[in-house]
Structure 1
């Protein structure tokens, strides 16, 4: 059974309303949480590509990438929980696991189910909420993994019309 139904939430996957790359985050995180996410990605065998600038590198340990020199480029980890769905993790700070998803890819019930499954996997591993906000607005989550409900739930009213 699906956590969310496409017809109920498709407004939150409209790039014109939400921005093409909404922010997905795990607040109140730690270096250990980042490492747990990296371990989860490896365990699940999700295809991924770590890079710093134009250089592709092996995925490092979380503490290595989070405590890089201040003038170093911000690395990214591109993860595909399915061939059609891409998550781009950015290693900005150890206090928040954050990544972007491309809403142009997240269209329809099948891809929504993959996305919700991805949020569930991360939330269950960390035992923390995983929240999706409109691009550039990280104070108003519209949906997210709820630890107590053990599923992805709506956190805002969908826009009708």
Structure 2
């Protein structure tokens, strides 16, 4: 397994190449303050998704089952995939993990 860090400020993106078929990465959302950095993340998700022809969902850390956002191959862009729960309460966690599927 190869692991590396990327981003304009070291540490906001950690890549793990687990196999030829699976790339996991962690994104520290606390480091992505402002529209400029969000645009960089969306550009990264789009570039990987387009290059591989796969959706790239961004899931909350800790095993969430619903992605927060991600590159959608059908839409051809990054979109919000998270929907609010019926009840008030849950906050989006500050750190998330993305997985190619």
Structure 1: give runs of 5+ residues left out of the alignment. 1-64, 66-74
The alignment's TM-score, normalised by the length of structure 1, stands at 0.47
Q: Which has the higher contact order (CA 8 A, sep 6+)?
A: 1
Superimposed CA distance per residue, residues 104-135 of structure 1 (whole angstroms, 9 cap, x where no aligned partner): 11122111111101111111101100110110
More helix by share: 1
The alignment's TM-score, normalised by the length of structure 2, stands at 0.71
Alpha-carbon distance, 1:84 to partner: 3.5
1:84 aligns with 2:9: yes
Q: How does 1:21-40 map to 2 (within 5 A)?
A: none
Q: Which one of 112, 129, 140 corresponds to residue 66 of structure 2?
A: 140
More strand by share: 2
Partner of 1:10: none
Q: Which one of 78, 82, 88 corresponds to residue 152 of structure 1?
A: 78
Structure 2: give runs of 5+ residues left out of the alignment. 90-101
Q: What SS is found at the alignment partner of 2:30?
A: coil
CA RMSD of superposed structures (Å): 2.3
Alpha-carbon distance, 1:93 to partner: 4.1
Query: How many pairs were matched up?
Result: 86
